[in-house]
Amino acid sequence: MTAPDVGVVIVAAGSSSRAGAGELKQFRWVADRPMLLHSLQLFQSRADVAMVVCVLPREFAGDPPPWILQCDTERLLVSVGGRTRAESVRNGIADLPPECRLVLVHDAARPLVPMPVVDRVVDAVRSGRSAIAALPVVDTLKEVGASGQIVRTVERASLWRAQTPQGFPRDVLLRAHRAAEDGGYDGDGAVIQIGNELIRYTERSMKPPFGFTGCARGLHGTAAATHTRGARLTHLRKSYGYFLFDMDTTLINEVADNLARVVNALNADMVYWDGSERLQGDHAYYNAKLQKAFYDRFKNKNMLIQGSSHSHYSWHIHARCASADGHGDLKGYLDERTPSFTSYYFPNLMPLDIGWYYVYDVQATVDQFEYVLNKSLGFDSSISLQTSPKHIREHPYVDVIVDLIGAYERLRLGGKLPEETRAKLREPKRDYRLMRDGRGQALQRVIYEPWRDIVALDGKTNVWEIVVTEGSCRVGVDIQLPSGQWAAPGPAYRSEKSVSLEDFSDARSYDKNRTTFAGVTQSFEIATDGVEGKPCAVYSATSPFRGGWSVVGRSFSAPLDMSSHKGIGFWLRGDGNGAQFKLQLRDGKGAADFYIANNYTGWRYHQLARPAKDAIDYRRLSHLYLYYNGLPARTNVTCAISGLRALPALDEPAVIDPVFEIAGQKLTWPVTLLSGQTFTYWPDEGVRISIGEKHGPVVRFELPQTITLPPGRHAVRFTTPASLTALPSVRLTLQPSERLPLTKSGKTK
């Protein structure tokens, strides 16, 4: 199961001072379109990219160039550039949605980066590292002394030229930017005070002449001034990105008065002390002094107060302490932190809250949250949930997650859970599921198999083996349909109202329109091994260097009126060798571009939706062009294209009547699953289909059939009686006989 989790920040906020006067460099046309558009469409062609943030100069951010609308506007945000590149990047990162756990930073001035380079950067980041694209230095480098004489030849074997994209885990990049600016989230800050002026620096010079470099003068509204030799310099310390105020001065009263004014006006029910473990001086004294100053001014003394740190004073006003912010792999994240429960929180007699856990990414499935809830019962801890109105509407499991939190909290507060059950729930890497047990409830042991991506019903990705080790197990099923991933065309493609734009029966119509970048070779031939035995065009190109391009095209004998069409559908056979395949439509004046990354092998169907704003006049379609952009160096790229049709409507990928064949037995359901939907089957409980805001409410129906597997190895096959048009992710769930009682009597109503 994969969900888009890559965020891209394209920095295009420069003034083009080195490129000379006139139009901004990033807006100039290169290789048939604006330089910036190359990068935007390159990254949006990737299925793993959730959002692209384009950072533009302030004067263009509110009114970007109209050609930017050729991009997928649902995955495009425009951000305002800063005074420096680093500030522009920070602005872009701040605008990325929470699901972007990986961040790529790319310069718009590098428009022809090959897709394999992007692949390698992303792969490195997924492994937990940071990575940049780079080229070896091939020039002879000389070190020159102060007088201009050559001192020595620099060894270049270890020198590389930094390129983009540059990729990072999001939290690593954020920490780096904070560190570069002011010492980082965990640092002490890089702001100094001389007289009445505040100055931020980037580096301290520890060699003569000593001092500070990279200074920003007149910070935070102060005025830059001339300072006398010997003037006193002081450091303004920060804690978690905020300036510390001196609690041995009257500032503590001013800050406490201001906070209390807001809290009392809101009649707040809860206050959370975040980061109060990192203060000036002795923790026991200053933590108590700070929290007492706030608490004494609050009118509502019965509010819930929580924090990650406490003192001998605030211990009696705290309701609980928080353990961590949960995100990403919720199970693994929590397992890393549970040792601190018994080493810190409980020895201090402080109630524990496991939170805040994020409901943003659809990969945060029900079992991820139920694992957290298992631990909340095991450690007698409350749990906090973090989400947003948007994700409440769109997340396929949010209703189940919220209901489960309520059910688990009622069990926890009921106080009847046996210690033997709590001990089992505290064990790492063991999942239990709350379920009905007769007229009561129990915690059922569940083994969640890994997710599998079904690419085709070809006896390869749809066939696997499971191993049952914990006694006989009943079998359940999970299915997810990621949005926009196709296995085959839908009805619109095969409709009589669809129009063939090219059947690729004759290559001669392309003879007059064949062009390449200097040094690139290409060939364009017709073959008979297309999809369903139809002809296809086999298009090959090789570049001696990275970034080359090639194009073939044809004109129609008379302009085509395609004004009523909603999209384009065709088959493309990739070879996985990189480059961007581009299909371009022209009306004689402008062009509409559609990109597909050649990062897979074999035939795949693609449906390309007509943009919300037309880039051309579809009543006068005159030319069809096929391109390769960003060719890899010294690597042949060969793709085939077949069955190019204009669609009267847009199809939606679907899985119809899914079937699981498990150890010679079948589970099947009469249901059509559409893009973005999820399907869950538990034995003896029936099926839940989470349809989401797009399609309607959740639906349920029963299935009396149950499969029980004995210990051992068992073959599994996923199939459908109808053709598969979507690419689902599936997994099995195994339920052994183990059930944990919720009361000492074993019965819970």
pLDDT tens-place string over residues 135-187 = 888 788 877 654 556 767 777 777 888 888 999 988 888 767 655 545 555 56
Tell me: pLDDT of 506 over 70.
yes
Predicted confidence band at 190 (pLDDT cuts at 50, 70, 90)? confident
Average pLDDT of span 607-624: 91
Q: What is residue 372's predicted lDDT score, i.e. its pLDDT?
A: 92
Predicted confidence band at 641 (pLDDT cuts at 50, 70, 90)? very high
Q: What is residue 145's predicted lDDT score, i.e. its pLDDT?
A: 56
Asked if 324 and 337 count as a contact pair (C-beta separation under 8 A), the reply is yes
**Domain 6-181 sits in which CATH superfamily?**
Spore Coat Polysaccharide Biosynthesis Protein SpsA; Chain A (3.90.550.10)
User: Rounded to an integer, what distance in angstroms lies between the CA atom of residue 140 and that of residue 301?
Assistant: 72
Q: What is residue 367's predicted lDDT score, i.e. its pLDDT?
A: 93
For domain 451-483+653-739, give the CATH number.
2.60.120
Tell me: pLDDT of 621 over 70.
yes
DSSP state of 410: H
Query: Which residues, at least 6 apart from 470, have a Cβ–Cβ distance to it below 8 Å?
Result: 445, 447, 711, 734, 736, 738
Higher pLDDT, residue 114 or 275: 114
Q: What is residue 703's predicted lDDT score, i.e. its pLDDT?
A: 59
Q: What is residue 446's predicted lDDT score, i.e. its pLDDT?
A: 97
User: Rounded to an integer, what distance in angstroms lies between the CA atom of residue 206 and that of residue 64?
Assistant: 45
Tell me: pLDDT of 695 over 80.
no
Tell me: pLDDT of 697 over 50.
no
Higher pLDDT, residue 521 or 384: 521
- How many alpha carbons fall within 13 Å on the CB side of residue 23? 9
Q: What is residue 299's predicted lDDT score, i.e. its pLDDT?
A: 96
DSSP state of 342: I
Q: What is the mean pLDDT of the chain?
A: 85
CA 259 to chain CA centroid, nearest Å? 35
User: Rounded to an integer, what distance in angstroms lies between the CA atom of residue 123 and that of residue 121?
Assistant: 5
Q: What is residue 575's predicted lDDT score, i.e. its pLDDT?
A: 92
CA 615 to chain CA centroid, nearest Å? 29
Query: Which residues, at least 6 apart from 29, have a Cβ–Cβ distance to it below 8 Å?
Result: 35
Single out the residue of 604, 608, 605, 576 nearest to residue 595, CA to CA: 608
For domain 491-647, give the CATH number.
2.60.120.430
Q: What is residue 636's predicted lDDT score, i.e. its pLDDT?
A: 93
Q: Dihedral, CA atoms, 249, 252, 253, 258, nearest 10 degrees?
A: 140
Single out the residue of 371, 494, 470 nearest to residue 429, CA to CA: 371
Per mean pLDDT, which of 90-99, 181-190, 344-353 is the most reliable? 90-99
Single out the residue of 160, 141, 162 nearest to residue 152, CA to CA: 141
Query: Which residues are paired to 662 by β-bridges?
Result: 665, 716
Q: Angle at the Cα of 413 (from 334 to 407), degrees rounded to 5?
A: 70
Tell me: pLDDT of 731 over 60.
yes
Q: What is residue 317's predicted lDDT score, i.e. its pLDDT?
A: 87
Q: What is residue 249's predicted lDDT score, i.e. its pLDDT?
A: 93
DSSP state of 295: H
Q: What is residue 693's predicted lDDT score, i.e. its pLDDT?
A: 45
Give residue-wise pLDDT tens across range 509-542: 998 889 998 889 999 999 999 998 899 999 999 9
Tell me: pLDDT of 23 over 60.
no
491-647 shares the fold of 451-483+653-739: yes
Tell me: pLDDT of 463 over 90.
yes
Query: Which residues, at least 6 apart from 686, have a Cβ–Cβ distance to it below 8 Å?
Result: 700, 701, 702, 703
**Which parts of 217-311 are beta strand (E)?**
233-236, 238-239, 242-243, 270-273, 304-307
Long-range CB pairs of 410-416, under 8 A, 24+ apart, other chains included: 411/377, 411/441, 411/742, 411/748, 412/376, 412/377, 412/380, 412/381, 412/382, 416/742, 416/743, 416/744, 416/748
Per-domain boundaries in the chain: 6-181, 190-236, 356-448, 451-483+653-739, 491-647
Higher pLDDT, residue 333 or 381: 381
